[in-house]
Amino acid sequence: AQSVAQPEDQVNVAEGNPLTVKCTYSVSGNPYLFWYVQYPNRGLQFLLKYITGDNLVKGSYGFEAEFNKSQTSFHLKKPSALVSDSALYFCAVRAIQTGANNLFFGTGTRLTVIP
Amino acid sequence: DAMVIQNPRYQVTQFGKPVTLSCSQTLNHNVMYWYQQKSSQAPKLLFHYYDKDFNNEADTPDNFQSRRPNTSFCFLDIRSPGLGDAAMYLCATSRDPGGSTDTQYFGPGTRLTVL
């Protein structure tokens, strides 16, 4: 069975500092991994995904994520946080071999960037 | 701009009174999804359509139904809403469910309140 864990419900970071939002996953076989961001009363916006290839994936708004197969992790990072980055972040996984398109989401991490 | 549109953004209904939520897309994607997201929880897939083929998740209650009259539109019908059905309902689309790089794009969501 597929699952995703986001161990931190809340992450606070000062504006201008680097940020990391953690995600670990569990799948049978190779995973497809996604990060989405959700602003208040809005839908999910796609940030980036890992399918194959380079372990460092670059996405929208200066975000990037590093796929680490040995640690089964896909942490989201940004070198310099902005106040406007404050939002709810979801990690999601889809197992390739199932053939289904069901995304399994983590429970989300609320990022607050402090001015 | 190509997008996923949901109407209404906010819906209030009474306990037991049928309600329909609407989703439309200009992306011309083959697949449309409906997710339920309760407060502070991860989105949970209810069902999806691949073209006209309906795919229900095993644990989706019978109270939830869906219609897709054409490529652009998909409806979520809740036949007898209960208090526990109050949630944000998210519509998403993707081009091809079997595609290795398939990404889901979400609408802004409809927040349902049940009185």
State the Cα–Cα distance between residues B66 and A63, nearest whole angstrom.
35
A38-74 pLDDT, tens digit per residue, is 988 778 999 999 988 889 999 999 999 999 999 999 9
**A59 at interface of B, judged by CB pairs closer than 8 A:** no
- Yes or no, beta carbons of B98 and A99 under 8 Å apart: yes
Task: Give the 3-state secondary structure percentages of chain A, helix then strand then coil, rounded to 5.
Answer: 10, 50, 40
Summarised one tens digit per residue, pLDDT across range B9-21 is 999 999 999 999 9
> Using the beta-carbon criterion (under 8 Å), do B100 and A96 form an inter-chain contact?
yes
Of A51, A102, A106, the CB nearest to B101: A51
Q: Which of B31, B94, B111 sits opposite A41 (nearest CB)?
A: B111
Q: Do A105 and B31 touch (CB under 8 A)?
A: no
Q: Are A44 and B90 in contact (CB < 8 Å)?
A: yes
Residue with tokens 């989706």: B60
Contact A55, A63 (CB under 8 A): no
Is B105 in Cβ contact with A34 (below 8 Å)? no
* Contact between B41 and A107 using a beta-carbon 8 Å cutoff: yes
Res. A18 pLDDT band, cuts 50 70 90: very high
- Which residues 49-88 on chain B approach chain A with CB closer than 8 angstroms? 57
Query: What's the pLDDT tens digit per position in B75-105?
Result: 999 999 999 999 999 999 998 766 555 788 9
How many cross-chain Cβ pairs, A to B, lie less than 8 Å apart?
59
Report pLDDT for B89. Answer: 96
Number of separate helices (H) and strands (E) present in chain B: 0, 11
pLDDT tops 80 at residue A88: yes
From the list A57, A40, A39, the residue with the least C-alpha distance to A48 is A57
